Structure 1
Amino acid sequence: MSADLSIPLSDVPAGRPPAVLQVLPALVTGGVERGTVEITQALVQAGWRAVVASAGGGMVREIERAGGTHVTLPLKTKSPFGIRRNIRHLAALIERENIDLVHARSRAPAWSAYFAAKRTGRPFMTTFHNVYGGTGRLKRWYNSIMARGVRVIAISQFVGRAATRTYGVEADRLRVIPRGVDLSRFDPEAVHPSRLVQLATEWQLKDGLPVVMLPGRVTRWKGHVDLLHAAQRLPHRDFQVVFVGNHEQKPAFRDELIRLVKHLGLQGHVQLVGDCRDMAAAFMLADVVVSASTEPEGFGRIAVEAQAMGRPLVATNHGGSRETVMPGVTGWLVPPGDRAALAHAVGEALALTPEARAEMAASARALMARHFDTKLMCQATLEVYTEILFPDAAHEPVAEAALEGALG
């Protein structure tokens, strides 16, 4: 699908910093939201203005602490009436805040942002955070808004191929920029032992028993059922499975998991501990981290965070994990839904010698630093912004200097 290239590029007036508006449904916990905060920080550090529009949420404070401006709008709505109303709200916001570039990160608000940008003559760009499934014509048309940017960022090669194959995003508009992990936050050396003691006490972990951890929302496609069946196949019961993530939104599935634990004879070996605000410490408590998603992850935030923390990782062999995990070097990749293979990989991870574990940890953290550091993601994204707004200066020293602040 071709972008609407009739939208003129903004002519940013001299004497004021360029302003970027990021648009997303809400600022609750999640990868899209985390990326929005990180780009806000990078923009402010580079001397640009960062404005975010969403329906609000707990991460609004992080936007404001980073020096960005948050505007609350009902952008979670998918109703045609609500989308039309949001076009007016966003167009007014663009004019009021002197926005130069509109960056949409999710489909429903992208429709409003696209027409608001078109109405105000600003360039519009998007980020594909996943492959956006759906085979019906109406669903594909709804998803296609993410392919209408003058530039389209894909968070992995996997997502980029889907954007090209399914939605016709041409190579000259597509930019593959992997999601990043904050290596200063996810650093084993930066986690004080008191944080581990606090979490272990809160979760009532049993001393001396290895922890097999699956972080992620408690929802069917994240692979909780497969991990329970894999755990039941392990020859010994000298482990504890810890599911870290919200289990209040899917109470029926949570109760199904509890029944399955009893059916498999795993009582006393499985805990659902809910959300965790200190995932760096949580990873340090894990002897092996599992990402068993049955559907492909667009990128897989858990995989890169776990590897940054030097944890042995077992992930399913599809989606973004194929790009972030080096089998046999930083972790294991197993076929999705293959419970026997998952059990075998978890068993091998638990059996690692201290020397092998240390070698894997060093390799994993080095891989993250080379390819998946948040600073690299921020630098590449700001370069796309510069490419759109200042095409003649995109490769000149003045543009490079303007980006230095984003690199820390």
Structure 2
Amino acid sequence: MAGRLLIVVNDAEFFVSHRLAVATAARAAGHDVHVATAPGPGVGAIARHGFVHHEVPLSRSGRGPVGEWRAFRALLRLMQRLKPDLVHLVTIKPVLYGGIAARLRRVPGVVVAISGLGHVFTADGARARMLRAALAPLFRFALGHGNIRVIFQNVADREALSKLARLPEGNIVMIRGSGVDLEQYRYLPEPGPPPTVLFASRLLKAKGATEFVRAARLLRERGLAARFRLAGSIDPGNPTTVTADQLDSWRQEGVVEILGQRADMATLLAEAHVVALPSYYGEGVPKVLLEAAACGRAVVTTDHPGCRDAIEPGVTGLLVPVRDADSLAQAIETLLLDPDRRQAMGAAGRRLAEREFGIAGVTDQHLRIYAALERGVAGP
């Protein structure tokens, strides 16, 4: 019989956008599903979908030693009270704090989802290296549970964290992204002119927002008639966020259309000819690239962990170097001027999404992992 499942994510909106389908499938399979997140706008949606929500003081950015201790203590107390049979920990702080708490509270089974390792693991500076060294013993303890599966979305993250935490190969599972609803994100013919390029993400410099605007500026200077659309919001909690002043400057310049935060991603993708995400962020596999593939849109993204895992280079999209607006502009121009190649890439992207990214397959993989852990057996 399926037991009690506690899913811990730092951000409620991230749970709704990236893990709701898994939670819904687990409930349908008989699990008593509870969700723990920080307070935020997504909490109401969690309740509307019928899940019991628990508020914990998690944050994506640091709150100092006292704040971090409170977050860990809250998870420790929650697991003591709920006594879950399984915990599913998503994003780095829940993984670290929740993994330690799960071992201390003797939770029978643990699922860890690494949806991108973030700045600490991707930066090359001395401070980042020192922090990784300091975190290594904590990750080894957090991921040292005797009945655990660690889900990675891309090979680079798997290699980095496996080495740091000394993970046994049998505890590792690869699932390529969070999945996409192939019915909601349908394959539709391209719209008419003008050709449109879409960037849809949090407006972070590390997501490539600045390079996207620079590429749009370069292509306008070359006389290319195209629309460049920027969808997303700034993120004051992230040190690489685009500032409000910078966003206003772009709006006044008029090179890109500033759309703000949008909930109608399927519509935006259907209105685009090319989707660009020139990210150098610590990605898992960016969900917008899975959605673009499902909608049959060619992609331009970076040769960067997670981004390159979302496409078949030269088949469903093009890869460019990170932090390189010139190369980004050239790749976009190549696709805008060659509709036959662009549309062939879009069709190949849809086939890739059907083969690899469908939400039904992703939820089924999770349910098999849950069942294996509840049996306490090796392998997913």
> TM (normalized to structure 1)?
0.78
Offset at residue 86 of structure 1 (A): 4.6
What's the counterpart of residue 124 of structure 2?
A: none
Q: Does the Cα contact within 8 Å between 1:188 and 1:310 map onto a contact in 2?
A: yes
1:73 is displaced (CA, Å) by 2.2
Picking from 332, 347, 351, the partner of 2:337 is 351
Partners of 1:139 and 1:103 lie apart in 2 by 23
CA distance 1:287–1:40, change in 2 (3 Å): same
User: Equivalent residues in 2 for 1:37-186 (5 A)?
Assistant: 37-76=20-59, 78-122=63-107, 123-132=109-118, 133-134=120-121, 135-142=128-135, 145-146=138-139, 148-149=142-143, 150-179=148-177, 180-186=179-185
Whichever residue aligns with residue 385 of structure 1, its letter is Y
SS class of match (1:151): strand
Q: Which residue of 2 aligns with 1:294?
A: 280
Shift of 1:178: 1.6
What is the rounded CA distance, in whole Å, between the counterparts of 2:135 and 2:303 in structure 1? 29
- For residues 86-126 of structure 1, what are the alpha-carbon distances to aligned partners after superposition, in whole Å with 9 as ceiling and x for unaligned? 55544443354441012221333444423432343213332
1:270-281 pair list within 5 angstroms: 270-281=256-267
TM-score by length of 2: 0.83
The aligned runs of 1:189-268 (5 Å cut-off) are: 208-234=193-219, 235-247=222-234, 249=236, 253-256=243-246, 259=249, 267-268=253-254
| Partner Cα separation in structure 2 for residue 113 and residue 248 of structure 1 | 25
**The 10-residue stretch of structure 1 (380-389 or 86-95) with the greater mean CA deviation from structure 2:** 86-95
The Cα shift of 1:371 comes to: 0.9
Matching of residue 389 in structure 1 with residue 379 in structure 2: no
Change (3 A) 1:360 1:391: same
Distance apart, 1:343 and its partner CA = 1.4
Q: Distance in 1 between matches of 2:25 and 2:196?
A: 36
User: 1:209–1:19: structure 2 CA closer, same or farther, 3 Å change rule?
Assistant: same
Amino acid at match of 1:164: S
- 3-state SS of paired residue (2:19): helix
Identity within the alignment, %? 27
Give the equivalent residue in structure 2 for 1:308.
294
User: CA–CA distance in 2 between the matches of 1:347 and 1:93?
Assistant: 53
Larger Rg: 1
Residues 1:317 and 2:307 are matched in the alignment: no
2:229–2:256: 8 Å Cα contact kept in structure 1? yes
- State the Cα distance separating 1:274 from its structure 2 match: 0.8
Deviation at 1:215, TM superposition (A): 0.9
Name stretches of at least 5 consecutive residues in structure 2 with no aligned partner: 122-127
Q: Deviations over 1:169-218 (max 9, x none)?
A: 221211111211121221145x9xxxx9xxxxxxxxxx943222111111
Is the Cα–Cα contact under 8 Å of residues 155 and 176 in structure 1 kept in the other structure? yes
Task: Return the letter of the residue paired with 1:68.
Answer: F
Q: Is the 8 A contact 1:211 1:239 kept in 2?
A: yes
Letter in 2 for 1:284: A
Secondary structure in 2 aligned to 1:281? helix
Give the drift of 1:292: 0.8
Change (3 A) 1:115 1:344: closer
Structure 2 counterpart of 1:275, one-letter code:
Q
8 Å CA contact 2:12–2:42 kept in 1: the answer is yes
RMSD: 3.0
